[in-house]
Amino acid sequence: MDILKSRRRFLTGLAAVGVFGPLTQFGLARIALAGQSQQAKLKVVFFVVPDGLAVDSESAYSSDGRGLWHPSANGLDTSDFQLNEVSQELAAYKDQSLYLRGTILGPGNEGHNGWTWALRDSQKKMASIDVLLGEHIPGTDPAQRSVFAGPHAGIDGTPWYVSWSGQQSGGGIRTPVQDPEVLLQNLFGTVSREVREKQVRNSHVFDPVLADINEMRGRLSGVQKQKLDTQLDAVEQTLKDMEETLPPIGECAPLELESVPFKSAAFRNQVQASHHQVVATALACGITRVATIQVGRSAESLNILDVSDVTNPHDCAHRYAGLAVWKKSRQWYTQRVRLFMDELARHTDPDVTTDSLLKHTLVVFTSEMADGAPEHTKDMPLVLMGGASGLLKSGDGAGRYFNITAQGDRKQEGNPVIGNTMVDMQRIWATIAKAAGTSVPYAGNVDPVSGIFTNV
């Protein structure tokens, strides 16, 4: 953390001495992108909501494929499809969406344990796809390779989180940042006036950074010193890059958030929106190119006041209070991702400043469960959205529905709509990884699914 603070002081120091003119700290975060040609760079956001999106019917506790999520389509691969009662909430982005049908997560019947598989391999041993992508396509801040935002995720002390560092990175579940103000600080930092004045008096803007790091190194030894040296290599490379750059292109406006109780149901919508703003701003500033937004957690208990002030979301998913709040709660979650898409559309892309951020972002929307009543993970809700720098095959501007069961690798009991084979979700992650120019270190079948991206 001290190293990151030193780096932020360094950035502010550059501004203070006028090296790059009157730039904001947010603009400085994009310096590493300056002077380059406007070459599109893919950004990826995983948006995960809890307890499924109602893929089952209103009357049957079985995956009969006639629920409220999956579109109805006139073909297995077609742009002639109609959104359902829940997916209809994304109608504004239908023309840049690919609705996938026929995936399975984990064993298919693990219920709320789906969060342990959601973005990972089928053996749940390795890093989740967001972490793997972040290692391969970093932004300007190496400490923010994969941002993990958690509006209301685990605020009750139940750490059911969907992002994992995996064995490659030492193992372990990642904890999302729940407070959007803390997330903002972590990404952009704050520097006092006293520190800025002190930096101006220094003969060289590098001095405060190097002094802090060397002082810390003198107090460490062994493994801790090794870790610091590793971080120091990254900082030195960043400094080298900055020395060779020009002022940043485009605009990276500062962001201010209103301070509200981030665990309160009364401020649920506002806290969610603040997370959207911080993540979108980080992407627009080039700080990171990969993020995960986990809304709540599986079996969450914090009421959604827009849905019900007496029935929590978990009970709504089980239809304990009737079908109306079941549908309304699933619609509320889906509305959140639509609002996030709106936020991306408002920002300018940091790499191609004539385009919106959304044009070069792939948003992956799913859940850790298919349906919260029978608690299964078969025929998962999954839609890929956004311009994705032209890589996503979303029907040439008309939107697309794609039943991928013909490429299935998992045998399942017959589904009356889609048949008896499904695609393991780890193959979807393998496909996204390949589209981004990397691969997944997962055991078992990692054959990419064809027909999703133009380059796979």
Interval 148-190: pLDDT, tens: 999 999 999 999 999 999 755 446 999 999 999 999 999 887 5
108-120: pLDDT as tens digits: 988 899 999 999 9
More confident residue, 451 or 64: 451
The whole-number pLDDT of residue 104 equals 95
Least confident of 9-13, 140-144, 267-271, 372-376: 9-13
Structure tokens belonging to residue 351: 């790499």
Q: Reply yes or no on whether the pLDDT at 46 is more than 60.
A: yes
Structure tokens belonging to residue 444: 């078992």
Q: Whole-number mean pLDDT of the chain?
A: 84
pLDDT tier at 141 (50, 70, 90 boundaries)?
confident
The model carries a pTM of: 0.82
CB-side exposure of 355: number of CA atoms within 13 Å?
Answer: 19
Beta bridge partners of 453: 392
Q: Reply yes or no on whether the pLDDT at 453 is more than 90.
A: yes
Q: Identify the DSSP state of 164.
A: B
Delimit the CATH 3.40.720 region(s) of the chain.
Answer: 42-179+264-435
Yes or no: is domain 42-179+264-435 CATH 3.40.720?
yes
Length of the chain: 456
Closest-CA residue to 103 (of 369, 437, 416): 369
CA atoms of 32 and 11, how far apart (whole Å)? 12
pLDDT tier at 428 (50, 70, 90 boundaries)?
very high
Mean pLDDT of 435-440: 97
211-262: pLDDT as tens digits: 677 777 777 777 777 777 766 665 665 564 444 332 333 457 788 999 999 9
Beta bridge partners of 85: none
**CB 26 within 8 Å of CB 254:** yes
pLDDT tier at 416 (50, 70, 90 boundaries)?
low
283-299: pLDDT as tens digits: 999 999 999 999 999 99
Residue with tokens 């919106």: 356
CA atoms of 374 and 350, how far apart (whole Å)? 44
> Which residues have CB under 8 Å from 212's CB, separation 6+?
2, 3, 5, 6, 9
CB-side exposure of 26: number of CA atoms within 13 Å?
Answer: 17
Closest-CA residue to 242 (of 3, 1, 34): 34
Least confident of 38-47, 100-109, 160-169, 350-359: 160-169
Structure tokens belonging to residue 270: 């506002």
The whole-number pLDDT of residue 248 equals 31
**CB 349 within 8 Å of CB 357:** yes
